[in-house]
Structure 1
Amino acid sequence: MGKSKTFNLIIISLFILILILLSVKQGGMREERDSSDDYTLNDTAPEKEEIGSYGVTSDSEIATEVGMKVIDQGGNAVDAAIAVSYVLGVAEPYGSGIGGGGTMLIHPEKGSGESPVIYDYRETAPDSETVPDSGVGVPGFVKGMDEVHKDFGSVEMEQLIEPSINFASNGITVSETLHNRLSDAQYRMPELDHMYPDGDPIEAGEVLEQQQLADTLRGIQEGGPDAFYSGDLSDDMNDEESKLDQEDLESYEVETSEPMEGEFGDYDVLAPPPPSGGIMLLQTLAMAEELNIEETNDKPVDYAMTMGMINRVSYKDRLKHVGDPEFTDVPVKEMMSDEHIEKLSSGIEGSELTEEYQSDLDSDADLEDHENTTHFVVVDKDGMMVSVTNTLSNFFGSGDYVEGFFLNNQLKNFSNNDDSPNRPEPGKRPFSYTTPVILSKNGNPVIGIGASGGRRITPIVAQQLVRMIKFNEPIQASVEEPRTFLELNEDTLQVENDYVFLDDPEKLGIDVQYSDRTSYFGSVQGLVIDYENNNIHGASDPRRQGSWESE
């Protein structure tokens, strides 16, 4: 890239930063989070093809701001999603980044002639070697962003990467979440003076500069995916993980597919197909319908145990059937058939525990309890909605650090069972709980939602949709409701401290463990298009200091 072009990009990015600061000071110009906290879904079926409003929700205030600015300045939802993805890799280096991958669900605006599509740029096992002990897979993030940009982008890629370079170079204010993640992971992290000044995790409120990452991002900005997948950077990745060679990196391919479809309430539900977690979510919602989950409203024990048992049943069914469809025949239609859902639901009785549905955790990721990923949603002025989950698998992935970024350990999501459809094989994608979701009516996207949280992602998203759609709870308030999770391999109900039972669950033989570990219960991000009033309403999870904005 020539010096003049680089200079122009710097000027553009500085302009973006100035606008961000002005928008923070002039917050009254935008709809604040609490102005829509009491919003509940209405039954109006959208018919309009254009809304005029737009919004972004993410785990990071600066990522949300950048996404809004991209749309402010004429970009579409995919442009904003690319910029947000890159900035999240800077603001949340523990949750996602160029050393990992992700899943993006795009629902084009009605009237565009385009159909909803899934981009799977998750990590794969090396073609040329067995799965490394580190769990590092071939990163798909950079090629994923490049592919969606080729198909949907309207703003130059260089401009979309520029904000992430600026924040890496000039610094970000460390959040409490980032400080805590650095503290919890210190025992397995390399020596990184900028993240551990004087040997201690950088404190919340301090400024974290990531110069190596800025240089690497600038190389991608100037050279495109080739700068990442070949040359010096690929050699550096191979030096860090010997089983990840240049041939594996250069041969990586992004996969596109149609989303799976289901129904919940009056909505069509779109979710990613195997090997992502969409099938578990759709089964969970179908079983919740079958069991009339709305009858558990105001019955906290029955609600927690019913949703927990549903998740157990779906998990066990997934172990039997789900792997990468390129390597195994996944009976999706059978798994989603009315007969199968009825059969799966038949053994679930309110708050009763059924031991036959317990399952051993079958992957290292589950055994290590990767509380992973980051999720965000974007809606643009034309009504295009993008729901995205990006990940490194475990927080900070493998902990292997290459030129400013962390390599994933996504391959630890492969089964340890040699007979599993999810067993490791060269070139294969492991199962993942990542589940970016969009709910629509009349062909128009209405709700975009998803979560972080490892093996708790699908039950967390399901709980959120039950509260919003079946219990008619306000959107932001429902995100803030205390969560529960019934362990898969033992009869323990994990409960956030503020969860209130009306009956004593221990009298029913339920072992309850209260927890204040906010990261354990994930982080939900969601946007809702209110077609009746031409507004965007949102929800952002305070468990990771998330933020949402609309205009």
Structure 2
Amino acid sequence: MKNIVRSFFLFIFVLTIQVQPTAAQTGSSKSYKNAVVVTADERASQVGRNILQQGGNAVDATVAVQFALAVTLPRAGNIGGGGFMMLHMQDGTNRALDFREKAPLKASENMYLRNGKYVPKLSRQGVLAVGVPGVVDGMVKALERYGRLPLETVMQPAIKLAREGYKLSWSQANDLNNSADAFKRYQGSQRYFLKSDGNRWQEGDLFIQKDLAQTLNRIANRGRDGFYSGRTADLIVGEMQKHGGLISYEDLEKYNSVWRDPITASYAGYSLNIMPPPSSGSIAIHQILDMLRPYDLKKLEFNSADYVHLVTETMRRAFADRAYFLGDPDFIDIPQKKLMSKNYNKKRMQNFQPTSATSSNEIGHGDIPSFKESTETTHFSIVDKNGNAVSVTTTLNGNYGSKVAVNGAGFFLNNEMDDFTAEPGEPNMFGLIQGKANAVKPEKRMLSSMSPTIVTKNGKVRMVLGAAGGPMIITATLHNFLNMAVFGMDPQQANSAPRFHHQWKPDKLFYEEFGISPDTRQKLQKMGHTITPTDGIGRAHTIFIDEDGRKFGSPDPRGDGTAEGY
């Protein structure tokens, strides 16, 4: 099935790229006059569109979509995790909302060490892996400041989906079946996500979540207090106490999402407004674009050996800096201005060789095992008829997070604690090296690769970008921007185009199978790159707005997403 999907989107790309269109020629993407919603799930996209048609704005639709995904995409959509939101309002306001999870008050820097040795499974599965969830606080806070409709109204579609159920797709049934052994370890997970008759889930099975419907109803009626106190809080803390977890009533009560100022990068006449730290994507993308600025990318040609080599070398350097310098800005001093200065990034490329790869050992240190991407994160993009735009990336971290579902409440808890530095020099589940700047501390937010981005030109929104896929989020978002801004692709072409990825450690250039020609691969190997094929790099859900105001929505063909609008 994966080979079929890869072949399909690469066929689409090869078919469409031959015409070399301008960015305004967007015939292969769905276009809408008024508004568009692009998400990883058809029902969630429809929910967002319906809210917009009922008079809601992009923020109203965002909150409705987030809660709908908590029902229809339990592996990634959630109320037990966290994420980031980038907003551009019609008056020109750009804001970033950080609803990333926090470490519990009882968390400690050495909590994943046993007899002085790092035990990876402790930060990846079970209750010790869980950070304090931020989604509900973030959604309520965004709606209160920028929404138009009541919380009860925007949550009704999600409550209905949970109460009445929906039919599983083939991929959803397969995902649930593949995680069955992990679900059996926890009473709630087994109760909600395994079939009661012991059989495997099948495509078309009706999936009903009555306890989750009640949980959502409490939030709709009581807002933030419907999750962080009362019955739901009792159930979360009870789950922690049962299995030896750390999250307490005090943790839930003290959680707060934070409004931050976005980081702005400029390139090719566009302004990119990107989620700031603890997102690492903003500084990384800013650095990469600065390092690329002296080069004529179009002249190098899309995915030529020289192009892949150059962009890979900038990725290598940006990810090395990510490992050493970045973390929660509320806890550490990030040398942000220096990292984003043109002089600094010019110096970072002084040892770049156009004909040979730079060893990552010359830039950093570490002995890292092979990288494997996870597809747990989900991203969605929304633009309404008035020009308000929202870009949201949200996550449980691993597939179904910690695999612990809150018994009585019906939702999974995240395993975001693995995004901290469990032990300096040791890779997390995505193969990323973490530095002391990202060490575990109580109430600290863990570093993230989520990079929701809104791109403007002359003050008007032109692109809404973002992706799912662990550290590959950064590179997928970067690729999509360059594909449209430099190579003139429409959003569907940009999404379908083959991608590549380098994250400093492991010292490997990952590329989508069939995405780079054999002769290009040979040239890259001669340059000194260790190239490794991998499944789809990121899943991006993109919006492009042309000069006439037409809104084009493009889901990533690597997944099951859809665009809906009117």
> What TM-score comes out, normalization by structure 2 length?
0.83
User: Cα distance, 1:288 vs. partner?
Assistant: 2.4
**Are the counterparts in 2 of residues 136 and 410 from structure 1 also a CA contact under 8 Å?**
yes
In the alignment, structure 1 residue 228 sits paired with structure 2 residue 213: no
| Residue of structure 2 equivalent to 1:489 | 505
| Residue of structure 2 equivalent to 1:96 | 77
SS in 1 for 2:179: helix
Q: CA deviation digits over 1:278-312, x for unaligned, max 9?
A: 11122122222234333331453333333222222
* Distance change in 2, residues 1:163/1:299 (3 Å): closer
- 1:137 and 1:490 map into 2 onto residues whose CA distance is 27
- 1:188 and 1:361 map into 2 onto residues whose CA distance is 31
In the alignment, structure 1 residue 342 sits paired with structure 2 residue 358: no
SS in 2 for 1:416: coil
Letter in 2 for 1:137: G
In the alignment, structure 1 residue 550 sits paired with structure 2 residue 532: no
Q: CA deviation digits over 1:229-249, x for unaligned, max 9?
A: 112321221222231000010
- 2:565 and 2:354 map into 1 onto residues whose CA distance is 39
Letter in 2 for 1:123: E
- 1:367 and 1:361 map into 2 onto residues whose CA distance is 14
**Are the counterparts in 2 of residues 360 and 488 from structure 1 also a CA contact under 8 Å?**
no
| Residue of structure 2 equivalent to 1:260 | 263
| Residue of structure 1 equivalent to 2:144 | 150
User: Cα distance, 1:40 vs. partner?
Assistant: 4.2
Match of 1:427 among 443, 462, 484: 443
- 1:362 and 1:391 map into 2 onto residues whose CA distance is 27
Match of 1:513 among 528, 532, 535: 532
**Are the counterparts in 1 of residues 89 and 387 from structure 2 also a CA contact under 8 Å?**
yes
* Distance change in 2, residues 1:497/1:52 (3 Å): closer
* Distance change in 2, residues 1:513/1:302 (3 Å): same
Shifted more, 472-481 versus 63-72: the winner is 472-481
| Residue of structure 1 equivalent to 2:412 | 406
**Are the counterparts in 1 of residues 377 and 396 from structure 2 also a CA contact under 8 Å?**
yes
* Distance change in 2, residues 1:237/1:410 (3 Å): same
SS in 2 for 1:544: coil
- 1:153 and 1:385 map into 2 onto residues whose CA distance is 12
TM alignment of 1:129-278, pairs within 5 A: 129-130=107-108, 133=122, 134-190=128-184, 192=190, 194-197=192-195, 198-199=197-198, 201-241=200-240, 242-276=245-279, 277-278=281-282
User: Cα distance, 1:493 vs. partner?
Assistant: 2.8
- 1:429 and 1:256 map into 2 onto residues whose CA distance is 14
- 2:492 and 2:502 map into 1 onto residues whose CA distance is 24
SS in 2 for 1:421: helix
- 1:417 and 1:153 map into 2 onto residues whose CA distance is 41
* Distance change in 2, residues 1:358/1:79 (3 Å): same
| Residue of structure 2 equivalent to 1:318 | 322
Q: CA deviation digits over 1:172-218, x for unaligned, max 9?
A: 22233323432443332235355332445522333211122112111
**Are the counterparts in 2 of residues 487 and 494 from structure 1 also a CA contact under 8 Å?**
no
Aligned residues: 501
User: Cα distance, 1:359 vs. partner?
Assistant: 5.0
* Distance change in 2, residues 1:299/1:325 (3 Å): closer
Match of 1:83 among 60, 64, 70: 64
Q: CA deviation digits over 1:423-473, x for unaligned, max 9?
A: 111110110001100111222221111000001110111111111111112
* Distance change in 2, residues 1:211/1:38 (3 Å): farther
* Distance change in 2, residues 1:549/1:53 (3 Å): same
- 1:317 and 1:334 map into 2 onto residues whose CA distance is 11
**Are the counterparts in 1 of residues 174 and 201 from structure 2 also a CA contact under 8 Å?**
no
**Are the counterparts in 2 of residues 174 and 203 from structure 1 also a CA contact under 8 Å?**
yes
Q: CA deviation digits over 1:135-167, x for unaligned, max 9?
A: 211101111111011101111110111101111
- 1:189 and 1:279 map into 2 onto residues whose CA distance is 37
Match of 2:93 among 92, 115, 124: 115
- 2:385 and 2:250 map into 1 onto residues whose CA distance is 41
**Are the counterparts in 1 of residues 33 and 551 from structure 2 also a CA contact under 8 Å?**
no
| Residue of structure 2 equivalent to 1:7 | none
**Are the counterparts in 2 of residues 438 and 449 from structure 1 also a CA contact under 8 Å?**
yes
| Residue of structure 1 equivalent to 2:23 | 41
User: Cα distance, 1:350 vs. partner?
Assistant: 4.0
SS in 2 for 1:432: coil
User: Cα distance, 1:380 vs. partner?
Assistant: 0.6
**Are the counterparts in 2 of residues 363 and 414 from structure 1 also a CA contact under 8 Å?**
no
**Are the counterparts in 2 of residues 313 and 344 from structure 1 also a CA contact under 8 Å?**
yes
* Distance change in 2, residues 1:415/1:361 (3 Å): farther
**Are the counterparts in 1 of residues 107 and 440 from structure 2 also a CA contact under 8 Å?**
no
User: Cα distance, 1:347 vs. partner?
Assistant: 2.8
In the alignment, structure 1 residue 395 sits paired with structure 2 residue 376: no
**Are the counterparts in 1 of residues 464 and 543 from structure 2 also a CA contact under 8 Å?**
yes
* Distance change in 2, residues 1:175/1:360 (3 Å): farther
| Residue of structure 1 equivalent to 2:306 | 302
- 1:233 and 1:360 map into 2 onto residues whose CA distance is 44
**Are the counterparts in 1 of residues 47 and 157 from structure 2 also a CA contact under 8 Å?**
yes
Letter in 2 for 1:239: G
SS in 2 for 1:343: helix
- What's the RMSD between the two structures over aligned residues? 2.6
User: Cα distance, 1:398 vs. partner?
Assistant: 0.7
Aligned-pair identity (%):
31
**Are the counterparts in 2 of residues 102 and 391 from structure 1 also a CA contact under 8 Å?**
yes
TM alignment of 1:460-475, pairs within 5 A: 460-475=476-491
User: Cα distance, 1:361 vs. partner?
Assistant: 7.1
SS in 2 for 1:401: coil
- 1:203 and 1:512 map into 2 onto residues whose CA distance is 37
* Distance change in 2, residues 1:496/1:254 (3 Å): same
* Distance change in 2, residues 1:546/1:52 (3 Å): closer
- 1:319 and 1:493 map into 2 onto residues whose CA distance is 18
Letter in 2 for 1:272: M
| Residue of structure 1 equivalent to 2:7 | none
**Are the counterparts in 2 of residues 39 and 475 from structure 1 also a CA contact under 8 Å?**
no
Q: CA deviation digits over 1:28-57, x for unaligned, max 9?
A: xxxxxx9xx9974249xxxxxxx9611111
